[in-house]
Amino acid sequence: MSQAKFILKHLENTRRRSLILWRSLPNSQFHWLPDPKAQSAAEMIRHVLAADHGWLQIIRGVDMRGYQSPWADLAIESLDQELELAQEHRQAFLDQISHYSDLELSESLVYHPGVPEAKILGDYLLRTAYHESVHAGQFLTYLRLMEVPRPNIWD
């Protein structure tokens, strides 16, 4: 299996698990937040979904100074709306990854804004999945605090 296919499989499995979690959230709890300074469940979902657009810009070498998310001025209404808004950006991100060779994934450098050291592209892409996984754990805690049954995502 090529490195790109391995990374894509990992990203797809990570997102599959996130979707299971997000779909377990009752609509009545969509805007729930654990405290006034925290992200709401809806804001966390948007943050994870919108990150794909940002990652794509970064791996393409776009200057991120002044970056603004395509969602910046849009109200968060529902999970279905968020997934629909994110679909084209997710697909573009995955398509970009699918075109990388093993050599590019092993040797190309990525510069993430605010991080002093460059990362190897393949490693950077795996870190994007880790970002989503961290938020999955955070979302599980939200569900626990809401007393919502937590789905089993550990297959």
Write out the two tokens for 25: 């959230």
In a domain, 96, yes or no: yes
Angle, CA of 133, 63 and 85, to the nearest 5°: 50
pLDDT per position as a tens digit, 4-22: 999 999 999 999 999 999 9
pLDDT per position as a tens digit, 89-143: 999 999 999 999 999 999 999 999 988 899 999 999 999 999 999 999 999 999 9
DSSP3 helix / strand / coil % (the chain, rounded to 5): 60, 5, 35
In a domain, 97, yes or no: yes
Read off the pTM. 0.95
Distance from C-alpha of 28 to C-alpha of 49, rounded to nearest angstrom: 21
Instruction: Categorize the per-residue pLDDT at 39 as very low, low, confident or very high, splitting at 50, 70 and 90.
Output: very high
Q: How many domains does the chain have?
A: 1
Instruction: Please report, for the domain that includes residue 128, its CATH number.
Output: 1.20.120.450
